Amino acid sequence: MSKKIKLVTEKVRREKKTKKRLLIVLILLLLLLLLLYLATGIIYNKGNFSITLDKNLYYTRGLVVYDNPEDKTYKSELFAEEPNHFTNVSHRWLPDDLDNSNGGSHNGDSYLAYTFFVENTGEEIADYWSEVVIYDVIQNVDDALRIRIYRNGEYVTYAKLGSDGVAEPDTVPFQEDDLVVRNHVESFKPGDLDKYTIVIWIEGSDPECTDYLVGGEFKFYMDFNSEYVEK
């Protein structure tokens, strides 16, 4: 009889240990999911588009980026505000004066527009590399995206190649799947100022602008570096 009781007791003990282990595993999984959720939230709370400046451009060459001409203090990163919503629009609906902003976000109905400046506040001639990078896309929404980059009044509109491998009308294809464009600015003299305006929208006339893109999201950033960096 005592042997039977002992066996039952050991079985209960094993079951308790198993339940305890399962509970610990469940708690760890929940913590992991919470961390992933918080990390994703932090990323997406930064908006669709950000600008980063290599600290070497400031500390060794005196270059700064800013979106408020009244505040030219060094910032390593700038963030564009998100539009209230992103729905497909036609490029024909965009205003003609998008590059006339004094700086900062000036979004419109269903498009992002952001103006900022790069200035050489140093004492020597410098140069810099810039690149626009796609670092997160959900539901292939970039298939119908347009990214227009103004520099000192001149602009180029970029888009992914169409599904037929042909450039979309009035656009320049992305240089790579995750790289929109890379540029090298040379002989940037003390006092020189480059004005940039970034406009991002979903082009309704794109054949790949379909209901399959509903719920999609995207993230871009623009880097300013002191030298070419191989990705």
The predicted structure's pLDDT at residue 167: 94
Below-50 pLDDT ranges, the chain: 34-46
Q: Are 120 and 188 in contact (CB under 8 A)?
A: yes
Q: What is the pTM of this model?
A: 0.78
Query: pLDDT tens digit string along 189-219?
Result: 999 999 999 999 999 888 888 876 677 788 9
**In terms of DSSP bridges, do strands 172-173 and 154-159 run parallel, antiparallel, or are they unpaired?**
parallel
The answer to whether 179 and 132 are in contact (CB under 8 A) is yes
Phi/psi at 39 (5° precision): -65, -45
Q: Are 162 and 153 in contact (CB under 8 A)?
A: no
Sign of the alpha-carbon torsion through 45, 47, 48, 53: negative
Q: In the structure encoding, which two tokens stand for residue 179, read together?
A: 């790289």
Query: What Rg value do the Cα atoms of the chain yield, rounded?
Result: 25
Predicted pLDDT of residue 83: 87
pLDDT at 229 (0 to 100): 58
Pairing verdict, β 217-225 and 126-138: antiparallel
What residue type is 77 in one-letter code? E
pLDDT of residue 102: 95
Distance of CA 111 to the CA centre of its chain: 15
pLDDT of residue 184: 96
